[in-house]
């Protein structure tokens, strides 16, 4: 029996634009979003500029600004608060370069749910005087918010937290942490890579100081394009020392005798933009804006519920917290041999990925309830890999 969604069937409207489903059941959006036909065509649009014009800098620079404008629309913030980066790592590192750990505040509070970029970048700042404090996770894999808030003190310069954990899908409630950090005079950086495009994130009301992420997952883009949101009200005094010519106030001044960064978030950018990646990433983001992330979230929540019920029904253990506020983009299923399990599922034409002993199942709006049945059937056939 095919399950039915209780809301508008987004897959029925958009699935035909994703040819990957002609070959496999794709639920690996937490690694790479499926390729839409329009996104594929945008590669040709870029190649055409090379064929027809050779050096098409007016077109290319226009796409950089188009990307900035799309991010601003998506997050409901001014374009002046958006930096277009090559990755979340680039964004975090340029923020780190703007921080001074020698003026009374040198503590960074972070969690054990972070992506390696976050932990490694902040520990690298220990060479500049930073003290990094990690908050262990709760038994259910969520961030211990009470312990985190208790760790924020007058020496805390920055609180750095992931919205969604890449290993297990646990989602952190951000608002109480941001409020507590600001009361102590600390800044907050959010890594939203694993949630952006899957969970609504209105940066005009969230009040985080920095948010980083990228386009290749739920925003339907490709590697090479990321974003850094810098809230002007609280971050305008920070000037990065990691820079490049596209971060200058006037990129055409070509000044090599001084440092004159842009006054807005563009000061956190670097060198020549990742032009080939801007075209498909802009197209993917346009599609997401058209669909609406609120609609995506509501639709995929039903798919998550059906997947959890079905996987548990064949003996699987879903380690992702069940509470709606604590999960969003993906479900993590405990496995005895994650790599062999991924390969076994792929042999059943179900594409997943794995981290930390778990199989990551990450549906998006293009998945339907027939996919759910195929995924559950594949887990049933590979149940000898399931870890209780």
C-alpha 367/C-alpha 25 separation (Å) is 8
C-alpha 159/C-alpha 150 separation (Å) is 12
Contact 8, 299 (CB under 8 A): yes
Q: How many CB atoms lie within 10 A of CB 213?
A: 28
Q: 42-289 adopts what CATH topology?
A: 3.40.640
C-alpha 94/C-alpha 230 separation (Å) is 11
Q: What is the structure's pLDDT at 3?
A: 41
Q: What is the structure's pLDDT at 325?
A: 84
Which pair of structure tokens corresponds to residue 353?
A: 């990925």
For 90-146, write each residue's pLDDT tens digit.
999 999 999 999 988 999 999 999 999 999 999 999 999 999 999 999 999 999 999
DSSP-assigned beta bridge partners for residue 210: 189, 230
Instruction: Tell me the whole-structure pTM to 2 decimals.
Output: 0.95
Which pair of structure tokens corresponds to residue 159?
A: 């609180």
Q: Evaluate if residue 246 carries a pLDDT over 70.
A: yes
Length of the chain: 388
Q: What does pLDDT average to over the chain?
A: 95
C-alpha 288/C-alpha 74 separation (Å) is 8
Q: What is the structure's pLDDT at 243?
A: 96
Domain extents for the chain?
Answer: 10-37+293-385, 42-289
Q: What is the structure's pLDDT at 7?
A: 53
Higher pLDDT, residue 7 or 342: 342
Q: What is the structure's pLDDT at 327?
A: 86
Q: Which CATH architecture has domain 10-37+293-385?
A: Alpha-Beta Complex (3.90)
Q: Evaluate if residue 337 carries a pLDDT over 90.
A: yes
Q: Are strands 107-111 and 156-162 parallel, antiparallel or unpaired?
A: parallel
The pLDDT-based confidence of 13 (bands split at 50, 70, 90) is very high
Q: Which of 293, 260, 280 minimizes the C-alpha distance to 364?
A: 293
3-state SS record for the chain: CCCCCCCCCHHHHHHHHEHHHHCCEECECCCCCCCEHHHHHHHHHHHHHHHHHCCCHHHHHHHHHHHHHHHHHHHCCCHHHEEEECCHHHHHHHHHHHCCCCCCCCEEEEECCCCHHHHHHHHHHHHHCCEEEEECECCCCCECHHHHHHHCCCCEEEEEEECECCCCCEECCCHHHHHHHHHCCCEEEEECCCCECCECCCHHHHCCCEEEEECCCCCCCCCCCEEEEECHHHHCCCCCCCCCHHHECCCCCCCCCCCCECCCHHHHCCCCCCHHHHHHHHHHHHHHHHHCHHHHHHHHHHHHHHHHHHHHHCCCCECCCCCHHHECCCEEEEECCHHHHHHHHHHCCEECEEECCEEEEECCCCCCHHHHHHHHHHHHHCHHHECC
Q: Which of 197, 173, 137 minimizes the C-alpha distance to 325?
A: 173
For 285-298, write each residue's pLDDT tens digit.
999 999 999 999 99
């Amino acid at each position: 029996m095919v399950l039915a969604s209780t809301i508008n069937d987004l897959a029925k409207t958009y699935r035909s634009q994703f040819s990957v489903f002609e070959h496999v059941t794709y639920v690996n959006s937490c690694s790479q979003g499926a390729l839409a036909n329009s996104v594929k065509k945008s590669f040709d649009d870029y190649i055409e500029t090379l064929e027809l014009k050779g050096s098409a800098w007016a077109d290319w620079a226009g796409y950089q600004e188009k990307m900035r404008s799309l991010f601003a629309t998506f997050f409901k913030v001014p374009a002046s608060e958006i930096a277009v980066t090559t990755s979340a790592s680039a964004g975090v590192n340029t923020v780190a370069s703007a921080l001074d750990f020698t003026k009374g505040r040198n503590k960074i509070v972070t969690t054990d749910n972070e992506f390696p970029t976050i932990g490694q970048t902040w520990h690298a700042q220990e060479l500049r005087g930073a003290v990094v404090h990690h908050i262990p996770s709760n038994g259910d894999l969520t961030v211990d918010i009470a312990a985190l808030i208790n760790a924020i003190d007058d020496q805390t310069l920055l609180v750095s937290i992931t919205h969604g954990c890449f290993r297990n899908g646990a989602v952190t409630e951000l608002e109480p942490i941001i409020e507590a950090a600001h009361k102590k005079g600390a800044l907050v950086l959010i890594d939203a890579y694993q949630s952006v495009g899957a969970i609504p994130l209105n940066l005009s009301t969230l009040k985080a100081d920095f948010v980083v992420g990228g386009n290749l997952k739920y925003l339907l883009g490709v590697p090479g394009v990321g974003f850094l949101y810098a809230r002007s009200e609280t971050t305008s005094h920070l000037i990065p020392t990691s820079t490049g010519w596209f971060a200058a106030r006037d990129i055409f001044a070509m000044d090599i005798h001084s440092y004159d960064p842009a006054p807005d978030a563009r000061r956190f950018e670097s060198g020549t933009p990742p032009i080939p990646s801007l075209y498909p990433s802009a197209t993917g983001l346009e599609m997401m804006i058209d669909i609406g992330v609120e609609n995506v979230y509501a639709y995929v929540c039903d798919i998550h519920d059906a997947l959890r019920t079905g996987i548990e029904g064949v003996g699987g253990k879903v380690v992702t917290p069940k509470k709606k506020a604590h999960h969003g983009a993906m479900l993590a299923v405990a496995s005895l041999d994650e790599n062999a399990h991924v390969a076994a599922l792929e042999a059943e034409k179900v594409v997943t990925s794995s981290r930390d002993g778990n199989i990551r199942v990450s549906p998006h709006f293009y998945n339907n309830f027939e996919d759910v049945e195929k995924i559950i059937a594949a887990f049933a056939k590979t149940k000898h890999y399931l870890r209780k």
